[in-house]
Chains A and B, each alone.
Chain A
Amino acid sequence: MNEPTVDLELARAHGLEPEEYDRIVAMLGRTPTYTELGIFSVMWSEHCSYKNSIALLKTFPKEGEHLLVEAGEENAGLVDIGDGLAVAFKIESHNHPSAVEPYQGAATGVGGILRDIFTMGARPIAALNSLRFGSLDDPRVRYLFKGVVKGIADYGNCFGVPTIGGEVYFDESYEGNPLVNCMAVGLVKHERVASAIASHPGSSVILIGSATGRDGIHGATFASTEIDDESSDQRPQVQVGDPFTEKLLLEATLEIIKEDLIVGIQDMGAAGITCSSSEMAAKGGCGITIDIEKVPLREDRMTPYEILLSESQERMLVVAQSGQEQRIRDICRKWDLHAEIIGAVSAKPNITIQMNGSTVADINAESLVLGGGAPVYHRETRVPEYIDRHRAFEPENLPCPQDLSRALLDLLSSPNIASKQWVYQQYDHMVRSNTMVLPGADAGVVRIKGTDKALALSTDCNGKYVYLNPRTGGKIAVAEAARNVVCCGAVPVAITNCLNFGNPYKPEIYWQFSEAVAGIGEACRVLNTPVTGGNVSFYNENPKGAVYPTPVIGMLGIVESLEHVTTSWFKRPGDVLVLLGRSGGHVGGSEYLKIQFDLLTGDCPPIDLPYEKRLQSLVLQGIRAGFVNSAHDLSEGGLAVALAESCFTGRDQLGVDCAFEFSGRADFSLFGEDQSRILVSVEPDKLEEILNQAASYDVGSQVIGTVTDNGRILVEGVIDIPVSKAAQAYNCALAKKMEVR
């Protein structure tokens, strides 16, 4: 075998820093082999090691009464929901692959996160996503958008998981570097939770699922660099998904776990066999010896280096209980899957790779992994100069548009606000017959069969806010995600997050990161929603600069009784509209500024977390008491957009007749994006009750109008449009953009 000579230059070509190479040589006490260098380079890549983020991630609150595993310990967070059941959930990015090959990049993003869930023994019951693209006026952006949506759809639909929610935003900052964050949620009985551990030396290590090919070699390393003009050359590093095999792998895996045949199991994603074996071994304090020639291959003459680093999809590594090897193989045969014994657990705590009897790699497992030998860095931070410039902005100087009805229609047809049905109708969102609240609402809701409970799930982040004020923007991302599930009748219980940022070696970027992490942590503490895990994606840049810092929050809420499930749209004429919370006409960072004046500036809206918590408790209490016929979180586009959406997103189109005092400019009051506000509709005889409750929670309340059946959206003196026209603007905007040729 002709292998390149290992030296510093080769190490750098693998993305390792000189000090990292020195550390490897010191750890091994010798120069690494070529295969070992490959192993270190992926295990110590940003993607696998979290070397530039882990120190800050440790500041997140990770404890809570419902949590069954601590963040980072297993493949996904695990939350007790009662009735002997637990929910496994996690969100992960697949930004870089999707930037060069949108269809497969997004598809394998879904595949990867689903495996993280079912490797824990949980059956996936819902998927969500959070997507960011450049402006849809650009044909390449439309190509990326179309490809990503189809990739997510084809994978999830074939696999049989309902994609019940998510978010999509468009902004020039994401041009060339779209964000594709995929979240999956699974359900498992407590006694069937599986662990990613290798223990009991002598136990067989079995590879199940697809054969291994050359696809995706160094995918983890690719995800740890900036995207540039040469990035399309990296297309071979994008993996190819096969959702049908994943479906078989799901069924086989759950059957194997149910029959109690294994010690541990770990899916293979980034860095393939290398990552799964070293993480499992390190966790169990053991080693794993692999006979590399036993790995089933789909291509000829693959080297150990290629086999170990391959990111071929739809594979699992299983440590069998002694004597159960044949039963595991029988189950795999039933599902027409490969199952090969490729090695064994060893007492010596090393990952030892043998090829036809000779050792090609022999590395202490602990030295490879996060929390073990992988480097941990504290990077320099610097406040970016743009911050002060934007904060100096004075919106009062902007002209007030004459026609606010027109301004509302413009907002409703902004791709960032308009209906995403063009997207979610391509996702099967009903398979498994649990979906109670369909996409397009504040959160997706799935019931849990056999119980009176449901889960409410949402993904949230306003990247513009985080750009203008990373700390407050981070808080708002958590608060809004929680508010969304509250509006559906759920108690927010825990989050997962996907932190998308630029190059961490740039001090301004690292400042954004550290501030956002601090904000998220603070909000999670106040709202009592611990962080169960997640993913960091750095290097989201294009030649023009970094994307908006986008820390996406995936929120899990539990609906304690199916009767509590609430939706955002108005239910009956005559109901009274009450705006809960306080309004200040804050337009900094708003969609209104962007659409009406083409401005992204100012500061993001402030947020008072204890107030937010009281507001959420108030609304939950009202829902449980049966007062609240609809509840809708106010977000992009403010009060006017929330009113309009609540008129036409339900089964029947209803109108509103509103009249209220404006505290400042009418346009800022209608379209401002002040936080901690929820619009509810209540029956007239319940009004007094809800107002009293609001007072007792020390939350502001304002009666702003009534629901009508006259088909008009009326705000006295400023807005008067037919509901059908507003609905048309909202429902057709995205499809219209996509029909351009």
Chain B
Amino acid sequence: MKFGVVVFPGSNCDHDCFYALKTACHQDVRFIWHKDHNLGDVDAVILPGGFSYGDYLRTGAVARFSPVMDAVVDFANHGGIVVGICNGFQILCETGLLPGALMRNKDLRFVCKFCHLRVENFDTVFSNQCLQGKVLNIPVAHAEGLYYATDDVLAELNKQNGVLFRYCDKDGTLSDDSNPNGSLQNIAGIMNREGNVMGMMPHPDRCFEKLLTSSDGVSIFNSMVQNGGIN
């Protein structure tokens, strides 16, 4: 499968995504420069974490207008697989490819730590390789990760099983203590109605080998690969 990792000025997890896909999943990966208007012949696009354009405004608000984003939106609208991780998730919400918004963390501080995630829907492009009943251990690192959406949107998301990951404690129970940023309904990652665009705040690109404390991120990347294989 061919992955393209978009490089915005200020992206700083671009290399982590590249390295994880290359070494842990043995996939074909390339970078896509933010000034490009064409994605090339990729099967999936990753919008990586970081501080695109410095994020001195609302996170992702500038990146949304980046030249490459027209192509990304077009790609998504034609069924292409698009994943936004952390800053990438924020950008996807800004473009409207995903519903809702990411607001300042509840305690107003940046938070970097490992979190437990419960997989809420295993039958997706992004989670089919996750094991039923296994709680994932994947770190977060953000200042704006509080997922917010109106009641209607939340109801709709839940109805279509669009919530993929929720913060939980290590045995899978949802609680306020396990929610690192105050996200509504402990939401950590969501997918669009069509099932081809996914955004998540936690970083699978930081836990893909045993020596990085956890290798649970691999199951998310491998889900896409598995899906690509079926196609």
If A244-B54, A335-B9, A428-B141 touch, whether A433 touches B110 (CB-CB below 8 Å) is no
Distance from B214 Cβ to chain A, minimum over Cβ atoms (Å): 10
Q: Hey, which chain B residues are within 8 Å of A449, CB to CB?
A: 19
If A157-B51, A433-B206 touch, whether A244 touches B12 (CB-CB below 8 Å) is no
Q: How far is the CA of A248 from the CA of B7 in the complex (A)?
A: 12
Q: How far is the CA of A438 from the CA of B50 in the complex (A)?
A: 20
Distance from B166 Cβ to chain A, minimum over Cβ atoms (Å): 20
If A244-B9, A425-B112 touch, whether A433 touches B20 (CB-CB below 8 Å) is yes
Q: Hey, which chain A residues are within 8 Å of B109, CB to CB?
A: 150, 425-426
Q: How far is the CA of A245 from the CA of B49 in the complex (A)?
A: 17
Given contacts A248-B10, A430-B206, 7 further A-B contacts (CB under 8 A): A150-B109, A244-B54, A426-B112, A428-B110, A436-B211, A436-B213, A562-B211
Q: Considering only CB atoms, which chain B residue lies closest to A153 in the complex?
A: B110
Contact: A160 with B112, CB < 8 Å?
A: no
Q: How far is the CA of A438 from the CA of B12 in the complex (A)?
A: 19
Determine if B159 is an interface residue (Cβ-Cβ < 8 Å): no
Determine if A431 is an interface residue (Cβ-Cβ < 8 Å): yes
Q: Hey, which chain B residues are within 8 Å of A425, CB to CB?
A: 109-113
Q: Hey, which chain A residues are within 8 Å of B139, CB to CB?
A: 430
If A247-B12, A436-B212 touch, whether A158 touches B206 (CB-CB below 8 Å) is no
Q: Considering only CB atoms, which chain A residue lies closest to B23 in the complex?
A: A449
Contact: B13 with A244, CB < 8 Å?
A: no
Residues of A within 8 A of B (CB): 150, 153-154, 157-160, 242-245, 247-248, 335-336, 421, 424-433, 435-436, 438, 447, 449, 562, 565
- The listed residue with most B CB atoms (<10 A of its CB), out of A160, A248, A429, is A160
Q: How far is the CA of A296 from the CA of B211 in the complex (A)?
A: 47
Contact: A426 with B211, CB < 8 Å?
A: no
- B13 touches which of A424, A431, A447 (Cβ 8 Å): A431
Contact: B111 with A247, CB < 8 Å?
A: no
Q: Hey, which chain A residues are within 8 Å of B54, CB to CB?
A: 158, 242-245
Q: Considering only CB atoms, which chain A residue lies closest to B111 in the complex?
A: A425
Contact: B110 with A157, CB < 8 Å?
A: yes
Q: Hey, which chain A residues are within 8 Å of B55, CB to CB?
A: 158, 244
Q: How far is the CA of A458 from the CA of B6 in the complex (A)?
A: 34
Contact: B212 with A433, CB < 8 Å?
A: yes
Q: List 25 A-B contacts (CB under 8 A).
A: A150-B109, A158-B10, A158-B54, A160-B50, A243-B54, A244-B9, A244-B51, A244-B56, A247-B10, A248-B9, A248-B10, A424-B112, A425-B109, A425-B111, A426-B110, A429-B112, A430-B212, A431-B12, A431-B13, A433-B20, A433-B206, A433-B208, A435-B212, A436-B212, A565-B211
Q: Which of B89-126 contact A (CB under 8 A)?
A: 109-113
Contact: B12 with A160, CB < 8 Å?
A: yes
Q: How far is the CA of A431 from the CA of B53 in the complex (A)?
A: 18
Q: How far is the CA of A81 from the CA of B148 in the complex (A)?
A: 47
Distance from B70 Cβ to chain A, minimum over Cβ atoms (Å): 19
Q: Which of B21-69 contact A (CB under 8 A)?
A: 49-51, 53-56
Q: Hey, which chain B residues are within 8 Å of A429, CB to CB?
A: 112
Q: Hey, which chain A residues are within 8 Å of B49, CB to CB?
A: 431
Q: Considering only CB atoms, which chain B residue lies closest to A430 in the complex?
A: B206
Q: Considering only CB atoms, which chain B residue lies closest to A563 in the complex?
A: B211
Q: How far is the CA of A487 from the CA of B139 in the complex (A)?
A: 25
Q: How far is the CA of A336 from the CA of B212 in the complex (A)?
A: 34
Q: Hey, which chain B residues are within 8 Å of A248, CB to CB?
A: 9-10
Contact: B9 with A433, CB < 8 Å?
A: no
If A425-B113, A447-B211 touch, whether A433 touches B19 (CB-CB below 8 Å) is yes
Q: Considering only CB atoms, which chain A residue lies closest to B35 in the complex?
A: A334
Q: Hey, which chain B residues are within 8 Å of A242, CB to CB?
A: 54
Contact: A336 with B9, CB < 8 Å?
A: yes
Distance from B40 Cβ to chain A, minimum over Cβ atoms (Å): 19
Q: Hey, which chain A residues are within 8 Å of B10, CB to CB?
A: 158, 244, 247-248
Q: Which of B1-17 contact A (CB under 8 A)?
A: 9-10, 12-13, 15-16
Q: Hey, which chain A residues are within 8 Å of B16, CB to CB?
A: 431-433
Q: Considering only CB atoms, which chain A residue lies closest to B113 in the complex?
A: A425
Distance from A49 Cβ to chain B, minimum over Cβ atoms (Å): 35
Residues of B within 8 A of A (CB): 9-10, 12-13, 15-16, 19-20, 49-51, 53-56, 109-113, 139, 141, 143, 203, 205-206, 208, 211-213
Q: Hey, which chain B residues are within 8 Å of A430, CB to CB?
A: 112, 139, 141, 203, 206, 212
Q: Hey, which chain A residues are within 8 Å of B208, CB to CB?
A: 433
Distance from B99 Cβ to chain A, minimum over Cβ atoms (Å): 27
Q: Hey, which chain B residues are within 8 Å of A424, CB to CB?
A: 112
Contact: A157 with B141, CB < 8 Å?
A: yes
Contact: A159 with B19, CB < 8 Å?
A: no
Distance from B26 Cβ to chain A, minimum over Cβ atoms (Å): 16
Distance from A19 Cβ to chain B, minimum over Cβ atoms (Å): 47
- The listed residue with most B CB atoms (<10 A of its CB), out of A153, A157, A430, A449, is A430
Q: Hey, which chain A residues are within 8 Å of B20, CB to CB?
A: 433
Q: Hey, which chain B residues are within 8 Å of A438, CB to CB?
A: 213
Q: How far is the CA of A336 from the CA of B35 in the complex (A)?
A: 11
- The listed residue with most A CB atoms (<10 A of its CB), out of B109, B111, B211, is B211
Q: Considering only CB atoms, which chain A residue lies closest to B17 in the complex?
A: A433
Q: Hey, which chain A residues are within 8 Å of B112, CB to CB?
A: 424-430
Distance from B142 Cβ to chain A, minimum over Cβ atoms (Å): 9
Q: Considering only CB atoms, which chain B residue lies closest to A429 in the complex?
A: B112
Distance from B7 Cβ to chain A, minimum over Cβ atoms (Å): 9
Q: How far is the CA of A435 from the CA of B50 in the complex (A)?
A: 17
Q: Considering only CB atoms, which chain A residue lies closest to B203 in the complex?
A: A430
Q: Considering only CB atoms, which chain B residue lies closest to A562 in the complex?
A: B211
Q: Hey, which chain A residues are within 8 Å of B143, CB to CB?
A: 157
Contact: B19 with A244, CB < 8 Å?
A: no
Q: How far is the CA of A447 from the CA of B23 in the complex (A)?
A: 15
- B9 touches which of A247, A432, A447, A562 (Cβ 8 Å): A247
Q: Hey, which chain A residues are within 8 Å of B15, CB to CB?
A: 432
Distance from A735 Cβ to chain B, minimum over Cβ atoms (Å): 10
Q: Hey, which chain B residues are within 8 Å of A158, CB to CB?
A: 10, 12, 51, 54-55
Q: Considering only CB atoms, which chain B residue lies closest to A337 in the complex?
A: B9
Distance from A675 Cβ to chain B, minimum over Cβ atoms (Å): 31
Q: How far is the CA of A243 from the CA of B111 in the complex (A)?
A: 18
Q: Hey, which chain A residues are within 8 Å of B203, CB to CB?
A: 430
If A160-B12, A244-B10, A247-B12 touch, whether A431 touches B141 (CB-CB below 8 Å) is yes
Distance from B22 Cβ to chain A, minimum over Cβ atoms (Å): 11
Q: How far is the CA of A425 from the CA of B140 in the complex (A)?
A: 10
Q: How far is the CA of A741 from the CA of B211 in the complex (A)?
A: 41
Q: Hey, which chain B residues are within 8 Å of A447, CB to CB?
A: 211
Q: How far is the CA of A652 from the CA of B139 in the complex (A)?
A: 18
Q: How far is the CA of A565 from the CA of B213 in the complex (A)?
A: 12
Distance from B3 Cβ to chain A, minimum over Cβ atoms (Å): 16
Contact: B212 with A426, CB < 8 Å?
A: no
Q: How far is the CA of A158 from the CA of B12 in the complex (A)?
A: 8
Distance from B188 Cβ to chain A, minimum over Cβ atoms (Å): 16
Distance from A464 Cβ to chain B, minimum over Cβ atoms (Å): 30
- The listed residue with most B CB atoms (<10 A of its CB), out of A153, A157, A245, A447, is A157
Q: How far is the CA of A157 from the CA of B112 in the complex (A)?
A: 10
Q: Considering only CB atoms, which chain B residue lies closest to A434 in the complex?
A: B212
Q: How far is the CA of A436 from the CA of B12 in the complex (A)?
A: 19
Q: Hey, which chain B residues are within 8 Å of A428, CB to CB?
A: 110, 112, 141
- B205 touches which of A421, A426, A433 (Cβ 8 Å): A433
Distance from A569 Cβ to chain B, minimum over Cβ atoms (Å): 13
Q: Which 5 A-B pairs have the closest CB atoms?
A: A160-B12, A244-B54, A158-B51, A433-B16, A428-B141
